[in-house]
Copies of this chain bind each other. A is one copy, B any other.
Amino acid sequence: MIDKTVPDVAAAVAGIRDGATVMIGGFGRAGQPVELIDALIAQGARDLTVVNNNAGNGDTGLAALLAAGQVRKMICSFPRQSDSWVFDGLYRDGKVELELVPQGNLAERIRAAGAGIGGFFTPTGVGTHLAEGKETRRIDGRDYVLEYPIRADVSLISARAADRWGNLVYRETARNFGPIMAAAAETTVVQVDEIVPLGWLDPEVVVTPGLYVDRVVAVGERPWLRDGEFIGGVDIEGRPLADEDAS
């Protein structure tokens, strides 16, 4: 029997080595695998290269991983946000490196890694600082820059539900980088709200087929859902509203 489920988040992140490249899903807080990141902090792997669209929000999740001093380098498109003070401080102190990649090139480079593409010509970034030193080429009258895949040792992502084969479905814009990061890593670890019996996910609506997934851990339902249905009643960070706010 194929069973990719693991009992807890510690088992899910076991074996991540110092110096590993770790992709972390999510766009801001949406889809960020916070429980897996917390487990990675507890696990303690250091000197990590982390690939994420951003560089952490507030003091939790990716920001906490940065604060723990476990990250040597960030590969991302948009580190500077109103609540990215942890990264900002480390960067100004020279304690973390930054490779800045336009968001669409970041997504396509991750997709290329999973799809076995050795490199691709993209029009994004041509003529800008972020294409300096890179090969460019005019094809059919348009200028392109050559970009290479970004691969990872481990991807940590979040989805709504999985079965024991690792088939995944996501929820709304929390899908974002999950499907492409799942395909780009040697080992893909997924936290989900719930694990459902094999056969419960309609083959037409599976977004990430199980062959991309190595470990699945259930972390329980988000506060704004009940039995998979949206019930509301939280702020944008997912904290339950006081009663008077929720009315």
Contact = CB atoms under 8 A, between A and B. Distances in A.
A204 interface: yes
Interface string A108-133: 10001001111111110000000000
Interface in A203-238: 203-205
A139 interface: yes
A123 B142 CA distance: 25
Contact of A119 (B115, B144, B169, B172): B144
A139 B148 CA distance: 9
A119 B139 contact: yes
B169 A140 contact: no
Contacts of A120: 112, 117-121
A140 B151 CA distance: 12
Contact of A118 (B115, B116, B118, B144): B144
Nearest to A119: B121
A239 interface: no
A80 interface: no
